[in-house]
A and B are shown apart, each in its own frame.
Chain A
């Protein structure tokens, strides 16, 4: 938001300067050219920030992107859902939406879990690559602790949250909790290392019990 205001302020100030700096008969010409040039130079920032500010959430619950910003339509995203008492610092007031460059631009406080979705990614073919991109984009806020097993990568903690801290896990493994992987809203039968992605895949990590 502040970036948007700064960009608009720069455009306006430069245009006014362009108007005042010219002779009377050239003022309109000068101001219009300065306006266009500054607008073109700042257009990438302006349109990105504006898109983030005005983006609404997808309200079709049959869409894998349900609850995510329209800004990410056709793009890939990774969601991390935490029990409300265990969400990382600053993420306990709803589901945050963090763009591919790490900008936290929208929070859905009516979503039924807390945490964050990191999205706006394109071109990832395998789940682990998208996951790593999301972790890197957020400055390792959602760093994984995982171990290799015969079934593939087993996630122990995400952002330091161990499922057995949030639910009671029996020592004999008769009951417990684990980080569950969803792909486009459905339980994934493949591990994150082998998961083939669509161009608009949504990966979700959430704690499940057994």
Chain B
């Protein structure tokens, strides 16, 4: 029995309008990003990260709830800022769901991953100190992001069941949330530093320059 947005079927027109809106948001986010990032040509590494996220998500799909996208969107949030992370969430989720499964739940995943990226961008100064990535703090945030993402996506259950069932649903899903958190922490501890070096080298951005838009004023 499906409880979440998998149980809601959209008409082709509704689905098209929703998809068109998501693609528009992704394009708008890339166009209206801050000038500092654009001038540094972060496009190539952004595309590489998006390809990594899509392929990683599909590759790790057989493992329950280990999501490389969450880790990568945190890195995009930190190094590219808010608008890039929104675009990243939309592009990666849409692309990978075409191969996995696409429907109303795609929207919840995009919103949840975009919010994780926005939060990472806003908390960036906590993660980069003295030009170095604080992996321990980032691991804690990545663990928290797993629960945050899963609970936002779980809101889709409210399409089909009463709110009174929501807490029970969240409670039942805790082992899956824990697995997502463990996967995020492993990816952060192993790959955050190498990826950080790759991003700063390829974009010519120093840690000081790579700031979220809200902080650039």
Contacts and interface: CB of A to CB of B under 8 A. Distances in A.
A39 B66 CA distance: 11
Contacts of B52: none
A40 interface: yes
Given A28-B136, A39-B179, A46-B175, A54 B168 contact: yes
Interface string A62-102: 00000000100110000000000000000000000000000
Interface string B92-108: 00000000000000000
Interface residues of A, number: 20
Name, among B66, B139, B182, the residue most crowded by chain A CB atoms within 10 Å (CB to CB). B182
A169 B190 CA distance: 75
B38 to A, nearest CB: 35
Interface in B167-191: 168, 171-172, 174-176, 178-179, 182-183, 185-186, 188-190
Contacts of A28: 135-136, 139, 189
Contact of A32 (B174, B176, B185): B185
A36 B175 contact: no
Contacts of A55: 172
Interface of B: 1, 63-64, 66, 135-136, 139, 165, 168, 171-172, 174-176, 178-179, 182-183, 185-186, 188-190
Name, among B64, B168, B186, B190, the residue most crowded by chain A CB atoms within 10 Å (CB to CB). B186
A74 B179 CA distance: 25
> Considering the complex of A and B, which 6 residue pairs feature the smallest CB-CB distances, nearest first?
A74-B1, A47-B175, A36-B182, A32-B186, A28-B189, A32-B185
B89 to A, nearest CB: 24
Contacts of B172: 50-51, 54-55, 70
Contacts of B189: 28-29, 32
Contacts of A73: 1
Nearest to A51: B172
Interface of A: 28-29, 32-33, 35-36, 39-40, 43, 46-47, 50-51, 54-56, 70, 73-74, 200
B173 to A, nearest CB: 9
Contact of B64 (A29, A43, A56, A74): A43
Contacts of B171: 54
A46 B178 CA distance: 11
A55 B64 CA distance: 21
A29 B192 CA distance: 11
